[in-house]
Amino acid sequence: MLFGRGTKNPIKIADKGVVDWKYTTCGYCSTGCSIEVGLDKDGKAVASRGVGSADVNRGKLCLKGIFEHELFHSANRGRAPLMRDRFYESFRETDWDEALDKVGSEIQRIQEKYGRDSFAIVSTGQIMTEEFYTLGKLARGVIGTNNYDGNTTLCMSSAVSGYKRSFGSDGPPGCYEDFEHTECLLAIGSNLPEQHPIIYWRMQQARERRRFPLIVVDPRVTMLAQQADIHLPVTPGTDLVLLNALAHVILDEGLEDRAYIDAHTGGYEEFSALVAQYDPVTAAAICGIDEDTIRNVARTYARAGAAMTIWTMGINQSTHGSDGVVAINNLNLITGNIGKPGGTSLSITGQCNAMGTREWSSCSGLPGYRALEHEEDREYIADYWGIDPEFFPKKRGLFQTDIFPAIESGEIKGLWVIATNPMTSMTNTARIRKILENLEFLVVQDAYADVETNEYAHVYLPAAIWAEKEGCFTNTERRVNLIRNVVEPLGQSKSDLWIFNEVAKRFDQGRKIRFPETAEGVFDELRELSRGRLLDYSGMTYDKIEQQRGIQWPCNHDSAPEGSSRLYTDGVFQTADGRAHLIALPFVDNNERPDEEYPFWLNSGRVVEHFHTRTRTGKIGNLNKFSPTPYMEMNPDAARELGIIHGGYARLTSRRGDAVVMVQLTQRVPPNMVFIPFHYHECVNRLALGLLDPHSRQPAFKQCAVHIEPAADQQVAAVRNRAARAY
């Protein structure tokens, strides 16, 4: 095929020999792009392309999606179950029966010896909804441990907690189509062009049609900040103060939507008394944004016919993460910007199915946004599963970030890790290593055998990846998308659904409960359990989801057969009295801050070409080549003072540990801050502190203090080391 430039140096696109395109959904971020995978005549996946008729991505994909078919045959995929008796022995291959028998018997041994909650399960935001629900049934209904959580505690739990406190339920109220209606967009701690490139593209398209103001709050000059009309380089960890100050100005100048506040909210008195203390002068001294800018932003936001706020980890990963989310909701409630086109709070979700786990995994309670704390919910689900309601605990157990310390203190003796890599993604790597070594039994279930956490496992279960299986993901805008099975699982790897069903068979109670074998069979249970609820799936089927290229819940046959774009359009919330809560949020400054000994802020996050701990993108040549080595962004002025050069190396030290990285000089970070992508093992999480939010237990990954010094050229050092070893 020839494109452009006539016959002079034509661009030639190689014919990959695709004979069949198969529909599925991207498995990286939560944008939820529809993908078609091209198969050649031998059934091998050789290409990926965006689906033109899908509302989310309209034919586009980002570079991770474009190379996603290469995952099926990427290096170090797990092909067979592995076992060892002690973690420092080498693994030996085994068959599924022996591996699963071992898992079943070890869970029972540990529970009998130390009590039911002494065996913990930590899962993910990256398996299918049907798999989450099945794991929840297994964990809550069969194994019966209350120490069951997922890596969404590192990611979205502040958003979940904030939505529940404000609106009485989790669930993002807005959608991408809101960009088409908004008159002001506030983006806080979200680097959309790199982390959600296709949502960014949707936003920019809308902005090109109607030039609405974009206000970006981020201490770095990110790609999004470069597009902004107003960029607020907030002092790390102080967004809450800025948000309280915006509310202060709005109420002080009478710019609020009084009718909305009176009709649909409660708690105004206490809230307004609190924000009265956050005048822009006081706030400026804490959050680093001058008082005029605060007033200007507050007026722009409140005067817009419709205004919306999006946010991601700059808000959630903070000691005030949950409060930050509530403060965003407060802002939108006092300006009447919930449930209307272009007026909303919209958390930009992280992982492809972080929403699915919130809805159905039972990590924080029971399936379908039900709570362990509610007797009628426990009875309903126990009856549906056919078990005794007394088997359920009456309140949720530990979050992921509390499960690891409970292993350290000896309360928890066994752990099952599913599709997450805490050795790289949790703070204080040395401590996590010791904790994993403390376990009597660790089972790791992952698509890759070389995932760092697996070094400490007694049993490794090889999971099928992405479109080697079938099921649903829910995206950022509550859209349930279908992952069609495109190719068979590699080697002996099996779908997570199959693995959960097989583990259930190793328990007496598991043999009595119904565990449907197919994903579609599980989906029928979700439809029944959600009928008439906020997250109604009852009007969906797999075929309908594929035809519509995703359906947004609530979807039912009567009032919303095509799904629903927004929540709370009638101003009725999921609270006891139907009113949303305005909540007073005092700010407590508990972050580690730069000082003489550790003079730099250490910020961390992501880059477009990599996903998380690089188990996947590190093996795709066309992605890994952009940033194969741990590096940091550093301001040239600060580097000059320390004698650090572009492309040279630096050693960072914090109160927790040290790390050596290559240096990229850039004005993107201010002189008192450095930024390191967290994708590399033994790097930023050796340094980070990760204080926990009191409501969501989410770590403040992005705020701590480090010391920096030049380090010897690592390549020269490596050559010297090799030479030394040769003698």
Ligand X SMILES: Nc1nc2c(c(=O)[nH]1)N[C@H]1C(S)=C(S)[C@@H](COP(=O)(O)OP(=O)(O)OC[C@H]3O[C@@H](n4cnc5c(=O)[nH]c(N)nc54)[C@H](O)[C@@H]3O)O[C@H]1N2
239 binds, among ligand X, Mo ion, ligand SF4, none (CB under 5 to 8 A by kind): ligand X
Which parts of 341-400 interact with ligand X (CB under 6 A)?
A: 350-351
Give whole-number Cα distances, 329 to 215, 456, 464, in Å: 17, 42, 39
Q: Does residue 195 contact residue 312 with C-beta atoms inside 8 Å?
A: yes
Q: Which two tokens stand for residue 294?
A: 């605060």
Give backbone dihedrals phi and psi of 526, rounded to 5 degrees, phi first. -65, -40
Q: Choose between 193 and 510: whose C-beta lies nearer to ligand X.
A: 193
Q: From the CB of 624, what's the least distance to ligand X, in Å? A: 13
Q: How far is the CB of 197 from ligand SF4 (least distance, A)?
A: 5
Helix (H, G, I), strand (E, B) or coil at 196: coil
Provide, rounded to whole angstroms, the least separation between the CB of residue 242 and ligand SF4.
Answer: 28
Residue 445 interacts with ligand X (CB under 6 A): yes or no:
yes
Residue 312 sits at the vertex; the CA angle it makes with 483 and 35, to the nearest 5 degrees, is 20
Compare residues 329 and 615 and give the one whose CB is closer to ligand X.
Answer: 615
Between 515 and 678, name the residue whose CB sits nearer to ligand X.
678
Provide the angle, in degrees to the nearest 10, between the axes of the packed helices 239-252 and 280-287: 170
- 698 makes contact with ligand X (CB under 6 A): no
Region near ligand X per CB under 6 A, out of 139-147, 302-310, 641-649, 684-692: 684-692
Alpha helices in 157-257 (DSSP H): 157-167, 192-195, 197-209, 223-227, 239-252
Question: Least distance from C-beta 279 to Mo ion, angstroms?
Answer: 35
Binding mask 144-163 for ligand X (x = CB under 6 A): -------x--xx--------
Stretch that binds ligand X, among 34-42, 113-121, 165-173, 414-422 (CB under 6 A): 414-422
* CA atoms of 411 and 438, how far apart (whole Å): 11
Per the CB < 8 A criterion, the answer to whether 39 and 20 are in contact is yes
61 binding partner (options ligand X, Mo ion, ligand SF4, none; Cβ < 5 to 8 Å by kind): ligand SF4
The DSSP code for 140 is I
425 binds, among ligand SF4, Mo ion, ligand X, none (CB under 5 to 8 A by kind): ligand X
Instruction: Find the binder of ligand X among 217, 275, 415, 472 (CB under 6 A).
Output: 217
Of Mo ion, ligand X, ligand SF4, none, which one sits near residue 26, judging by CB under 5 to 8 A according to partner kind? Answer: ligand SF4
Residue closer to ligand X, measured from CB, 369 or 448: 448
The residues of the shown chain that bind ligand SF4, judged by CB under 6 A, are 26, 28-29, 31-33, 57, 61-62, 64-65, 196-198
Per DSSP bridges, beta strands 580-581 and 119-123 are unpaired
CB 475, min distance to ligand SF4, A: 8
Helix (H) / strand (E) element for 253: namely none
DSSP per position, 477-519: TSEEEEE---SPPSTT-B-HHHHHHHHHTTSHHHHHS---SSH
Give me the count of residues in the chain: 727
Among 231, 610, 697, 707, binds ligand X (CB under 6 A): 610
Query: At closest approach, how far in Å is the CB of 446 from ligand X?
Result: 4
CB nearer to ligand SF4: give 62 or 555. 62
**What's the closest the beta carbon of residue 83 comes to Mo ion, in angstroms?**
31
Residues 100-159 that bind Mo ion (CB under 5 A): 155
Contact present, 78 and 480 (Cβ < 8 Å): no
**Cβ distance to ligand X smaller for residue 529 or 700:** 700
Q: Got the DSSP string for 38-97? A: EE-TTS-EEEEEE-TT-TTTTT---HHHHTGGGGGG-TTB--S-EE-SSTTSPPEE--HH
Query: How many positions of this chain bind Mo ion (CB under 5 A)?
Result: 2
Residue where the block lists tokens 């199959």 = 498
What is the Cα–Cα distance from 151 to 242, expressed in whole angstroms? 28
688 binds, among Mo ion, ligand X, ligand SF4, none (CB under 5 to 8 A by kind): ligand X
* C-alpha torsion 621→625→631→634, nearest 10: -140
A 10 A CB-CB count for 465 gives 27
Q: How far apart are CA 380 and CA 383, in angstroms?
A: 5
d(Cα 117, Cα 113) in Å, to the nearest integer? 11
Among 136-144, 302-310, 471-479, 611-619, which window interacts with ligand X (CB under 6 A)? Answer: 611-619
Contact residue for ligand X among 139, 451, 497, 639 (CB under 6 A): 451
Contact between 66 and ligand X per CB under 6 A: no
Instruction: Based on the shown chain and the rule CB under 6 A, indicate whether residue 127 belongs to the binding site for ligand X.
Output: yes
Give the per-residue contact string, 23-62, with ligand X (x = CB under 6 A; - = no).
Answer: ------x---------------------------------
For Mo ion, the binding residues in 332-391 under the rule CB under 5 A are: 350
Q: Which of 556, 604, 627, 654 binds ligand X (CB under 6 A)?
A: 604
Residue 678 engages ligand X in binding (rule: CB under 6 A): yes
Cβ proximity to ligand X: between 122 and 275 the closer is 122
| Token pair listed for 376 | 């009628």
Number of helical H runs and strand E runs in the chain = 27, 28
What one-letter code names the amino acid at 222? T
Q: Which spans of this chain sit near ligand X (rule: CB under 6 A)?
A: 29, 124, 126-127, 151, 154-155, 188-191, 194-196, 217-220, 222, 234, 236-237, 239, 312-314, 317-318, 350-351, 418-422, 425, 445-448, 451, 463, 465, 496, 603-606, 608, 610-613, 615-616, 678, 684-685, 688, 701-702
Q: Which spans of this chain sit near Mo ion (rule: CB under 5 A)?
A: 155, 350
